[in-house]
Each structure stands twice: as structure tokens, then as C-alpha cells.
Amino acid sequence: MQSKVTFPGGKKVHAEFDNGMVVETDQPVQYGGDNTAPSPYWLFISSIGTCAGAYVLGFCNERGIPTEGVSINQRLEFETTPFGSSKLARIALDINVPEGFPEKYHKALVKVADQCAVKKTIMDPPEFTVQTVVN
């Protein structure tokens, strides 16, 4: 898998993937952007909740359980480092289900959401390499 990152103007940064899909990002106005798309950090954060959501959706679909009223609230909890800066300390996911959702599946939803590939990658991070290449 590969993507090409380009700079279409302003503070916008886009990633185009092998399959032709493009992910657009921008910066908030307070950081000089136009706020036309999520920032890269917010895309990263949303990938965790949406990944867990995809697993929850698949679980419900496989069992014929309606997903109306099912949602995930994602909370970010920050702490101050010894150097005075803020760091993300915890990401909490609350799976909300409506009354009448089969109680026998409550724990299974947590287990399936925990299978999120994005979360697993964060828990066992890959090695990063960065280099400059002259074309």
C-alpha cells in the first residue's frame, strides 16, 4: 500500500491512495488554515472511533441486530507532562445501545470493538523511517 501526499494550497495537505481515494486535510483557522477539512490529528483520532465502529457495525449486521440508536462516544483525556506540555493520556470509547438491545451482547460489543486494527497498530507501533529523495 502506498499514498502520495501533496500540497494543494494554503494549509491543505492531501493523501492520494493507490485505489484513487483522496483524504483531504486542512488546519483550523487559528493555525492559518481555512478549516475546510479535518486536521491530520483529528483524522487520526477519528480513525480510532470509526474503526471500532466498523467492528461494532459488522457484529450487529452478522446477527441481524438493528443499529438504529447504536453509537460510540469517544473521549480524549489529556494530562500535563513534567515539562508542562499536554499529552493525550487516554482514549475512552463508550458504546451506546438503545433499550432493548440484547444484553447478552453487551460484553461482546466491547470485545469486538477492542479488535480495531487502528488500536492494535497503536498498541504495537511500527517502525518509522523518513528520508529525502531527489527525483
Q: Report pLDDT for 79.
A: 97
**pLDDT at 41 > cutoff 90:** yes
The H or E element spanning position 89 is strand 86-96
* 79-127 tens-digit pLDDT: 999 999 999 999 999 999 999 999 999 999 999 999 999 999 999 999 9
The CATH architecture to which 38-123 belongs is 2-Layer Sandwich (3.30)
pLDDT reported for residue 1: 85
List the chain domain ranges. 38-123
- Name residue 131's amino acid: Q
Integer Cα distance of 30 and 116 in angstroms? 32
Q: What is the mean pLDDT of the chain?
A: 96
- Of 57, 74, 10, which Cα lies nearest the Cα of 36? 10
Q: What is the pLDDT of residue 23?
A: 97
| pLDDT over 90 at 50, yes or no | yes
